[in-house]
A and B are shown apart, each in its own frame.
Chain A
Amino acid sequence: MTEMSMIQAIHSALDVMLERDPDVLIFGEDVGYFGGVFRATEGLQAKYGATRCFDTPLSEGGIVSTAIGMGAYGLRPVVEIQFADYILPAYDQLVSEAARLRYRSGGEFWAPITVRAPYGGGIHGGQTHSASPEALFTHVAGLKTIIPATPYDAKGLLIAAIEEDDPVIFLEPKRLYNGPFDGRHDLPARPWTGHASAEVPEGYYKVALGSAAIRRPGQAVTVLAYGTMVHVALRAVEESGIDAEVIDLRSLVPLDIDTITASVNKTGRCVIVHEATRYSGFGAELSALVQERCFYRLEAQIIRVTGWDTPYPHAFEWDYFPSPQRVAEGLRRALEG
């Protein structure tokens, strides 16, 4: 075990997989010589050679379409989209091609690709460096969507994603790269150092896609969160003293529905937290699932705490980003309802 930040854990996963499997190769904008704008691939080109980890032209559509072609040939490309906000030029490739290749060819062709993209807010990135586009992918049949919240999970889930034979969108909460940010931007930033889930094995291991993690057991109310919001929710629980059960979904597709229903059936209350805009957000799906499966156990309306339905506003970042205070307010409403 070594202590790693999330970005180090991601780097380690890529390193392990390049070492292990000659069919794994990494490419994207500025990922080669430079090692990526967040340094996820630092040194990998020098270590494994230019054909294993290389720069691409500035074209997200080109990156994903060539990855699909390589995947269909038999390789396992792991591509980086510099910011999730910039994945949209590749959206057609992901939705119309990667997601359907297997289905439409009757299983003859498939795209075992992993698309990594830093996502989410909290870094003063404004409209085009802060988005949370997960619902654009969870809505598409044929895509898997993964969002880690800790260094340990980031590495284990990324290795599992790379070994998947289906296309995986791997969204990395960039505000968590260097520390477990809990929404308290008024306090000094904390590093991962000393955090239990920053203890990461140096070698190969997997965290299965489709399994949620209970980050804090509780009886009063269930909180469903992922990415940075897991830490914000834990902070809200700590500050409010409410005995909430905080579930880190980790995997949006496939979803660990059993852990969710077991928890809500126990608590009878549910708060859903995400940074993305509320309307048609992933919270809407979670809310519908909980309502369909736990209806007779629910004692209060399901509460959503989310980003507002506006583009991500630069100067209003901390009014937009769900705060521990807003989450705690949501918990109280769920307890009153």
Chain B
Amino acid sequence: MRNQQPLSLHIPVPHARPGETPDFSYLTFPEAGATRRPDSLTPEAQMRDLPYSLIRVLAEDGRAVGPWDQHLSPDILHRALRAMLLTRLFDDRMFTAHHQGKTSFYMKSTGEEATAVAPSLALLPGDMCFPTYRMVGFLMARDYKLANLVNQIFANAGDPMRGRQLPLLYSAREYGFYTLAGNVGSRFGHAVGWAMASAYRHDDRIAMAFVGDGTTAEGSFHEAMVFASVYHAPAILCVTNNQWAISSYQGMAGGEETTFAARGIGYGLPGLRVDGNDVLAVYAATLWAAERARANHGATLIEFVTYRVAGHSSNDDPSRYRPSDEAGAWPLGDPIERLKAHLIAIGEWSEVLHEALATELREQVRAAAKAGEALGTHGQNPPPKHEMFDHVFKEPDWRNLEQRRESGADS
């Protein structure tokens, strides 16, 4: 039968644009503690409710509730709080440094710190994280030297990446942090390959990879999913759904047709949907998927639901495409405030201690920034020019050698 009405092309439209009232009514979620926690070895077909629910541990009153509460030690919680706060203060300082012309570029992870910090604490040494550019929190939780970060951001002579990459595109193999690049999504398959290699060698390492909501549209996301599924790769594949991909809302990546966690169903991979601003929930979901992967039951897809509080990058002005008060209307709160409230509720923290910690970390960041500035900000004191020709190959070929001479880098 032919259609009665002519067809029309559907173009998705977000719930609120500048000048309109922020509207998160599309985001419905259960109370903390309400989502069930099946055993981590449960067959995927028996867990198809989870991608449509939301795993939450921290309740409104700051208590940890429900089956996903792992009863983490105060020590781990303190480490998580410290790393998240350090990340936020560092981001603020470096963003300001960009305004002052000290670096060419910056991107903040404000509001999303829990999604980087909790996995960092939950993974084991030897595991590898394949991060996004918004995950410096992973390194903060592992006490990576701030000097390395600052020098990379300033592209000065102390930059471990030798001035080759845009700010933020770190690499820290010893810390389980895979090399970043500016093109999104392309490392999702590497994580699956890394995990397959661990299985091939009968090791016990797992891989954990991240992409943004927007990036799930890339072919590389889907390719990685099918390989992870087919080979039962010991990998945790994560989507950090911060609601925006530059100016494009998550509906532009298909987020209005289904959840990102539900992308797992088509591949037969378990999908967990997690409150990304609840550090206890992020930690618990990571542990669950890690347990499953280490038991050789293959990969899990996790969606972390969070919000990109800052602009996309130092080049972006989000008030051009979303209501400027949207962050304030975000229903899942702030990850640092929520963990702080929890620690206070269980008698492990206080406002005074919090203020003291903030002062200590602010000073740490200030000292690192000052030291980096002394070594050189963007454009001053870069690494030696001849290093531009290193690492193209393991050994330079004749072109690298000739051009090094031609460029005057040898003299």
Contact = CB atoms under 8 A, between A and B. Distances in A.
Interface of A: 29-30, 32-34, 37, 50-51, 54-62, 85-86, 88-89, 124-129, 278-279, 308-311, 313-316, 319-320
A61 B186 CA distance: 13
B163 A59 contact: no
A57 B217 contact: yes
B246 A37 contact: yes
A300 to B, nearest CB: 18
A124 B104 contact: yes
**Interface majority SS on B: helix, strand, loop or mixed?**
loop
A126 B169 contact: yes
Contact of A61 (B105, B169, B219, B403): B219
Given A85-B182, A129-B182, A316 B248 contact: no
B218 A89 contact: yes
19 contacts: A34-B247, A51-B9, A55-B11, A57-B252, A58-B214, A58-B215, A58-B252, A58-B253, A59-B217, A59-B218, A60-B218, A61-B218, A62-B217, A85-B182, A86-B183, A313-B164, A316-B385, A316-B388, A319-B407
A126 B217 contact: no
B254 interface: yes
Contacts of B385: 316, 319
Interface of B: 8-9, 11, 13, 17, 104-105, 155, 159, 162-166, 169, 181-185, 214-215, 217-220, 245-248, 252-254, 315, 320-321, 378, 382-383, 385, 388-389, 392, 399-400, 403, 407, 409
Contacts of A85: 182-183
Nearest to B321: A34
Given A85-B182, A309-B392, 19 more contacts: A30-B248, A33-B247, A34-B246, A34-B248, A37-B246, A50-B13, A54-B11, A55-B11, A55-B247, A57-B214, A62-B217, A127-B164, A128-B183, A308-B407, A310-B392, A313-B388, A314-B155, A315-B155, A316-B385
A89 B219 CA distance: 8
Contacts of B399: 278-279, 309
Contacts of B219: 59, 61-62, 89
A83 B144 CA distance: 32
Contacts of B409: 319
Contacts of B400: 309-310
Contact of B182 (A56, A124, A128, A310): A128
Contact of B218 (A58, A279, A311, A315): A58
A55 B315 CA distance: 19
Given A129-B182, A310-B400, A315-B155, A29 B163 contact: no
A62 B185 CA distance: 14
Given A29-B246, A309-B399, A316 B382 contact: yes
A89 B182 contact: no
Given A89-B220, A310-B388, A315-B163, A124 B105 contact: yes
A314 B166 contact: yes
A273 B8 CA distance: 48
Contacts of A29: 245-246, 248
